[in-house]
Structure 1
Amino acid sequence: MTVMDRLNASLEKWLPEQRLFLRSEDTTRFVRLRPVTQLVGISGMTLVFGWTLVASSFLVIDAVSSGNSRDQIQRSQAAFEQQLAQLQAERDARAAEALAAQSRFTVALEQVSQMQSQLLASEESRREMETGLAAVQSTLRDTLTDRDTATADASGTAPEADRSKEFAVALDILSTELRDSADQRSIAVEEAEAARLAAQELTAERDQILARNDEILTQLEDAVTVSVAPLDEVFRNVGMNPDDVLRTIRSGYSGQGGPLTPMSYSTRGNAALTDTEVKARQIIVTLDQMNTYRIAIEKLPLAMPVTQNFRYTSGFGRRWGRMHEGIDMAGPVGTPIHATGDGVVTFAGRQGAYGNLIKIRHELGTETRYAHLSRIGVKVGDRVSQGELIGAMGNTGRSTGPHLHYEVRMNGRAVDPMSFIKAADNVQ
């Protein structure tokens, strides 16, 4: 007895041999299904069924994780814009404080200059008084000498005494003026020293404010730079050139107007700008780039066309030797179908193997298609918004069961819709 015979004999208890009779008009044939054959068939069907369950579960998990990508993008943008506004407000406050400190520093310098002028004037007056006093003292000494000589000669006593009194009075007046001038000089010196200390404190305060302002600008620059990178990656993932996208958006948002303020120019380019001004200009440029990206993202079809439970049944690429230019999402007939981005309906009707079909033209050269629908809820020329209900899932056209065939085209060329659905993950 061979191994196969022994194996069939051991399986006979659970899988008895079956015979299938095939009868035609003049003959009768039968096919014998031995236990081993039945076991192989059952095992194959079990493996296929298990693989189908695992693949479906992975696809459902992927659909659930990407279903709310648009809301997460909006929340992330709102949080970043709020943080950006706070940093800008803090930067403006620090700039105002720096300007106020600069103004106080200028006033203090002016006070110091005035005090120095007063001090120089007082010093000049003191020198003049000292010179006058020296002259008076010399004259007084000469007068006293003459007086003593006259007294010794015993003649002209009264006139000499009057002259001595006059010189004594003049000397007292000059001494008093000299003391007042010295006192004023001391006061001026004290005020000038106080003004100098105040100017030093204001200088330190201004330097601290400028340092803090520079720190805020650095944080702001890092924040906007980090935030632009994932937005740039979004367009690269869907096959777009970010530079071309920025040029297209800016050409459509190029309105200008209003009064113009004078602009200063430098023959040295940015050499005349401070580091703070260079950072501020770079931040403005990056913010403009980020805002342009935000406008572009709002124009792309990044949302899911089906928000209720569904199952991916076919992906983008070659299938059975032919190109499958979209993805298939299976679900019950009547499942709501939503527009994946803002756009204009260019076709709404029946078209060959597509069955009931809706085409929506979006900006930046993108188009979406929704095929095999059971119901069409829009007409040609309608403007639709992202998430708007446009139809219902069906089984029209060349279809083996109820599902949505969803396509995304870039400038007429079919691209993988999953790259758009998953691209939004880069900005979370």
Structure 2
Amino acid sequence: MTTRTGTERQSLLHRIFPEKRIFVKSDNGTRFVRLGPRHHLVALFGGTAIVLWSVTATSFLVIDLVKGSGERQQAAQEKAVYETRLNAMAEERDTYRLAALEAQANFTRALDEIGNFQDTIFDAALSRQEYAARQDALRRLLRDSLTERDLLQARLDTLTADSGDATLADLDRSRAEAERTVAFLTRALGRTAEDRDRLEAEADAARVQLAAISNDLDTRNRANERIFSQLEEAVVLAMEPLGKMFTEVGLPPSAILRQMRDQYSGQGGPLTPISLSTKSYDSDPDSQRAEAILAHMDELNLYRMAADKVPFAEPVSAAVRRTSGFGYRRDPIKGGTRLHAGMDWAGAYGTTVNATAEGVVTQAGWQSGYGRMVTISHDFGIETRYAHLSKITVKKGQRVSRGDKIGAMGNSGRSTGTHLHYEVRDSGTPVNPMKYIKAGRDVF
């Protein structure tokens, strides 16, 4: 039974894969190669294995390309957000600074107006007191005159009864003189009363105007309070993440600010707080708050300038793929485990390579295994290297800014393909570039 089954299987194989012969003719004769069912099966299995391997490798390659495209899109989006937020922070800082200066100027003008009106009210009060004193003096003089008139009238009546015509004429003259004196005093008293009423009206108008100015000043003070509060909150929200960003890369914020002040110690300095004066008055709380806000804005501006000098950006912005990170890995050329002192990005030949921070080019040429390399020295003891370039577009000693083109991606030096090798060194020691890039992404 077993023999019969084996015979049937061989018969089935012969029907599916019939035996074939390949004849080879030469000068020595004709030969042939026999291809039986087993050879057909081996070829079939081998071809199937090759096809399956090709499909699997293609799938992995497609997945890798899709993943790399997603990372490039994410990097481009993060860069756009970084630039937009940086510009918005600069505009917001300028707006808040102008608002603070305008609020302080309005406050100074209001103080000047109040001072002038206080002087006017004081002068009016003095004039009113002076006229009141004059009025009292005239009233006393009028009472004395009336009393004297009454005495003279009584004496006239007495003399009229006891004296002749000559004495009566003298008394008439005295009486007329007294009446003229009384009339003069009455007119003077009337004018004094008119002046008093006029001064009271002016004082009332001044009090109404002072009340209006006080209300306007209260309104301005409330507006200033809102502006100051918004400015203080905005400055705090802007400074905290910046300080954290420098701390994460091992740069103490206090040392950063001190070095930037020393570096920009010219007349006035960047955004140096102005000294506001209100005549001979002492510094008021609003002026002190404005000085404090301007001082914080000065620190914010110093942080921004310092951020341009630290490599928080990525060296390439085109469609690239990160192929190798920082750390120990197997050497792709000589084998063995070695420290990879930077990061690798693979992309098209000639892809633009940009400076990641402001600095001075200290090397621009061939460097052993690095190939064509550019080295940039930054502040705070930081150095960046850009290796395996196909072209260098800067010279030694040249000052560059963040985003400036310094070369193009290539395959020079000890390299297995077109890519950029990027290093960050702190005081000569290689550090992980992603520490700086990630710190910048968290803020911007």
Structure 2 length-normalised TM: 0.75
In structure 2, relative to structure 1, the CA distance for the partners of 1:394 and 1:140 (3 Å cut) is: closer
Provide the residue aligned with 1:306 in structure 2.
Answer: 316
In structure 2, distance between residues paired with 1:149 and 1:140: 14
> After the TM superposition, which of the residue ranges 228-237 and 409-418 deviates more from structure 2?
228-237
- Per-residue deviation, 1:273: 4.3
Aligned partners of 1:93, 1:335: CA distance in 2, in Å?
49
More contact order relative to length (CA 8 Å, sep ≥ 6): 1
When structure 1 is superposed on structure 2, of 417-426 and 277-286 the one drifting more is 417-426
Matched residues in 1 for 2:163 and 2:438: separation?
Answer: 127
Measure how far apart 1:199 and its partner are.
2.1
1:370 CA drift (Å): 2.3
Judged with a 3 Å threshold, the aligned counterparts in structure 2 of structure 1 residues 413 and 42 are, in CA distance, closer, same or farther, namely farther
1:423 paired residue number: 439
- Deviation, structure 1 residue 177: 2.1
Tell me the CA shift for residue 241 of structure 1. Answer: 2.1
Q: Answer whether contact 1:338 1:387 (CA < 8 A) is retained.
A: yes
Query: Could you state the TM-score of these two structures normalised by the residue count of structure 1?
Result: 0.77
User: Does the C-alpha gap of structure 1 residues 78 and 378 become closer, same or farther in structure 2, counting only changes over 3 Å?
Assistant: closer
1:344-397: CA deviations, max 9, x gaps? 333344445434433322222222222333444555444444434444433344
Given candidates 52, 57, 78, the residue that maps to 2:66 is: 57
The reply on whether 1:172 has 2:188 as its aligned counterpart is no
Q: Secondary structure at the match of 2:380?
A: coil
Against the structure 1 CA distance between its residues 425 and 415, is the aligned structure 2 distance closer, same or farther, given a 3 Å change threshold?
same
In structure 2, relative to structure 1, the CA distance for the partners of 1:107 and 1:395 (3 Å cut) is closer
Query: 2 CA distance for matches of 1:405 and 1:197?
Result: 77
Seen in structure 2, the aligned counterparts of structure 1 residues 389 and 142 have a Cα distance that, compared at 3 Å, is closer
2:379 alignment partner, SS class: coil
Is 1:399 matched up with 2:399? no
Of residues 296, 318, 326 in structure 2, which corresponds to 1:316? 326
> Quick check: 1:67–1:304 contact (8 Å CA) kept in 2?
no
| In structure 2, C-alpha distance between the alignment counterparts of 1:154 and 1:381, rounded to whole Å | 128
Aligned twin of 1:269: none
Partner of 2:13: none
**Aligned partners of 2:350 and 2:408 also within 8 Å:** yes
Give yes or no for the alignment of 1:237 onto 2:253: no
Shift of 1:113: 1.9
Do the aligned residues in 1 keep the contact of 2:71 with 2:321 (CA within 8 Å)? Answer: no
Which of 180, 189, 207 is residue 196 of structure 1 equivalent to? Answer: 207
CA contact (8 A) 2:387 2:422 kept: yes
Question: Which residue in 2 is equivalent to 1:213?
Answer: 224
Instruction: Give the whole-Å Cα distance in 2 for the aligned partners of 1:41 and 1:152.
Output: 163
Deviations along 1:243-291, whole A, 9 cap, x unmatched?
A: 2222222222223389xxxx99xxxxxxx74321221121122111111
Q: Which residue of 2 aligns with 1:148?
A: 157
Q: Is the 8 A contact 1:333 1:402 kept in 2?
A: yes
Q: Alignment identity in percent?
A: 33
1:56, distance to aligned residue in structure 2 (A):
4.7
User: Does the 8 Å CA contact 1:333/1:394 hold for their aligned counterparts?
Assistant: yes
Alpha-carbon deviation of 1:416?
1.9
Q: Secondary structure at the match of 1:364?
A: helix
The gaps in structure 2 that reach 5 residues or longer are: 1-38, 270-274, 277-281, 331-336
Alpha-carbon offset, residue 401 of structure 1: 2.9
User: Which segment is superposed worse, 128-137 or 369-378?
Assistant: 369-378
* Alignment pair present for 1:331 and 2:347: yes
User: Deviations 1:131-153 (Å, cap 9, x if unpaired)?
Assistant: 12222222222222222223333
Cα separation, 1, equivalents of 2:261 and 2:244: 19
Amino acid at match of 2:293: I
The answer on whether the counterparts of 1:231 and 1:426 sit within 8 Å (CA) in structure 2 is no
Change (3 A) 1:361 1:64: farther
Matched, 1:119 2:135: no
Alignment of 1:252 onto 2:260: no
> Separation in 2 of the partners of 1:424 and 1:303?
7
Quick one: structure 1 residues 84 and 381, their matched pair in 2 at CA, closer, same or farther if it must change by over 3 Å? closer
Shift of 1:226: 1.7
Cα gap change, 1:118/1:375 in structure 2, threshold over 3 Å: closer, same or farther?
closer
* CA 419–189 in structure 1, closer or farther in 2 if over 3 Å, else same: same
Report the Cα offset of residue 60 of structure 1: 3.3
1:408 aligns with 2:419: no
Q: In the alignment, is residue 105 of structure 1 matched against residue 121 of structure 2? A: no
Cα distance, 1:120 vs. partner? Answer: 1.4
Q: Please say which of residues 335-344 and 227-236 is displaced more in the overlay.
A: 335-344
2:300 equivalent among 282, 287, 290: 290
Paired position in structure 2 for 1:89? 98
> Over aligned residues, Cα RMSD in angstroms?
3.7
Q: Which amino acid aligns with 1:234?
A: M
In 2, the alpha carbon distance for the partners of 1:58 and 1:205 equals: 62
Q: What is the distance in 2 between the residues matched to 1:150 and 1:58?
A: 134
Separation (CA, whole Å) in 2 of partners of 1:279 and 1:42: 76
Distance 1:247 1:125 in 2: 70
Counterpart among 139, 142, 145 of residue 136 in structure 1 = 145
Matched, 1:346 2:356: no
Is this contact kept in 1: 2:410–2:419, CA < 8 A?
yes
Contact 2:246 2:252 in 1 (8 A): yes
Letter in 2 for 1:289: E
State how far apart, in whole Å, the 1-side matches of 2:65 and 2:168 are.
Answer: 138
Query: Are the counterparts in 2 of residues 66 and 422 from structure 1 also a CA contact under 8 Å?
Result: no
Change (3 A) 1:223 1:398: same
Report SS of the residue matched to 1:309: coil
Counterpart in the other structure of 1:21? none
For residues 94 and 384 of structure 1, the distance between their equivalents in structure 2, rounded to whole angstroms, comes to 39
1:166–1:376 distance in 2 versus 1, CA, 3 Å: closer
Kept in 2: contact 1:338–1:388 (CA 8 A): yes
Distance in 2 (alpha carbons) for counterparts of 1:110 and 1:151: 60
Q: 1:204 to 1:170 in 2, by over 3 A?
A: same
